[in-house]
Amino acid sequence: MPELPEVEVIRRDLNETIVGLTIDSVQARDEMVLVGVTPRQFARRLSGRQILDIRRWGKVLIIELSGGVCLLVHLRMTGRLYPVPADQTLPDHTRAVFHLSNGQRLLFVNPRRLGRLEIADSNRLTEAKMLQKMGMDALSDEVDEQVVGEMLRPHSIALKQWLLDQTHIAGLGNIYASEILHRCRIHPDALANSLDPKAVRKLLRAIRRVLDEAIKWRGTTVSDYVTGRGVPGAFQKRLRVYGREGKRCRRRNCRDTIVRTTHAGRSTYYCPRCQPVPR
């Protein structure tokens, strides 16, 4: 959290608000969130560069700057990234401040300090620490039935766990993995290599539908997430299983109750009737 939809909403918001502006100066207030540079080096390498575009790969934001440099932002659990007017007081846990040419400040706020900022060369992006080993983006056209079918084959682990591994498909986390599996009616413990082509097709359709819907509703706020405009999302009201232990399944004609289990120490929610135990 935030996962792909939240990062995508932030990307779209920032594309409207900060692209075209120049970073006049940078205050890196916490060295711990910087990858491989000191606060001084970080500020020096970014100051004076114009913001050209903002892209996304999985859960990583790629802010493309003039001069062939990118700023990569990984929000991890509690990160927030949004612009504020010059006179607004900085919130607690502001780890970096980017002073922009329109007088606004872009804030990187991160209470748990797990988020990261990394500078990378535009033409050597895949060498960046944050993007090394990163699988295909979950919304990329490359994610098709044949490719994913082949990727699943060597893995006799629970599908839920397979989906969380960013080296396979990038962008899914704990919330959307549960939602996706409920949508395609596959039990979270089904083994990744047990899916037949029809099940793979259902899974991919569910990935796209759940992510598209979540983006449309501007992401899920269960704790810290805010959009690129600094306000909460609305998809939390539409979650079908995540966080709904003991509540009625939201599929029409299903009267069963959502249960919670754990996979690798993380909560998984599913409906025992819609998602039968695999044989």
Q: What Cα–Cα distance (Å) separates residue 138 from each residue in 74, 181, 245, 247, 268?
A: 16, 14, 27, 29, 20
Quote the tokens at residue 93.
Answer: 């846990």
Q: Report the distance separating Cα 190 and Cα 161, nearest Å.
A: 10
State the minimum distance, in angstroms, from the CB of residue 212 to Zn ion: 22
State the minimum distance, in angstroms, from the CB of residue 179 to Zn ion: 13
Question: Is 185 an active-site residue?
Answer: no
Q: What is the binding site for Zn ion (CB under 5 A)?
A: 249, 251, 254, 256, 271, 273-274
Question: Is 3 an active-site residue?
Answer: yes
Q: Which is nearer to Zn ion, 42 or 269 (CB)?
A: 269
Q: Which is nearer to Zn ion, 109 or 249 (CB)?
A: 249
Question: Is 266 an active-site residue?
Answer: yes
Distant-in-sequence, close-in-space partners of 140: CB < 8 Å, separation ≥ 6: none
Q: Which is nearer to Zn ion, 36 or 276 (CB)?
A: 276
Q: Which is nearer to Zn ion, 113 or 251 (CB)?
A: 251
Active-site residue among 113, 185, 250, 266? Answer: 266
Q: Report the distance separating Cα 35 and Cα 172, nearest Å.
A: 23
Q: Report the distance separating Cα 42 and Cα 72, nearest Å.
A: 12
Contact 22, 48 (CB under 8 A): yes
Question: Is 59 an active-site residue?
Answer: yes
State the minimum distance, in angstroms, from the CB of residue 172 to Zn ion: 21
State the minimum distance, in angstroms, from the CB of residue 181 to Zn ion: 12
Q: What is the CA radius of gyration of the chain?
A: 20
Q: Which is nearer to Zn ion, 220 or 275 (CB)?
A: 275
Q: Which residues pair with 57 in a beta bridge?
A: 60
Count of all residues that appear for the chain in the document: 279
State the minimum distance, in angstroms, from the CB of residue 178 to Zn ion: 13
E strand or H helix that includes residue 107: strand 105-109
Q: Which is nearer to Zn ion, 197 or 272 (CB)?
A: 272
E strand or H helix that includes residue 201: helix 197-216
Q: What Cα–Cα distance (Å) separates residue 242 from each residue in 94, 141, 169, 236?
A: 29, 27, 20, 9
State the minimum distance, in angstroms, from the CB of residue 250 to Zn ion: 8
- Measured from each CB, the residue nearest to Zn ion is 249
Point out the residues that are catalytic: 2-3, 59, 266
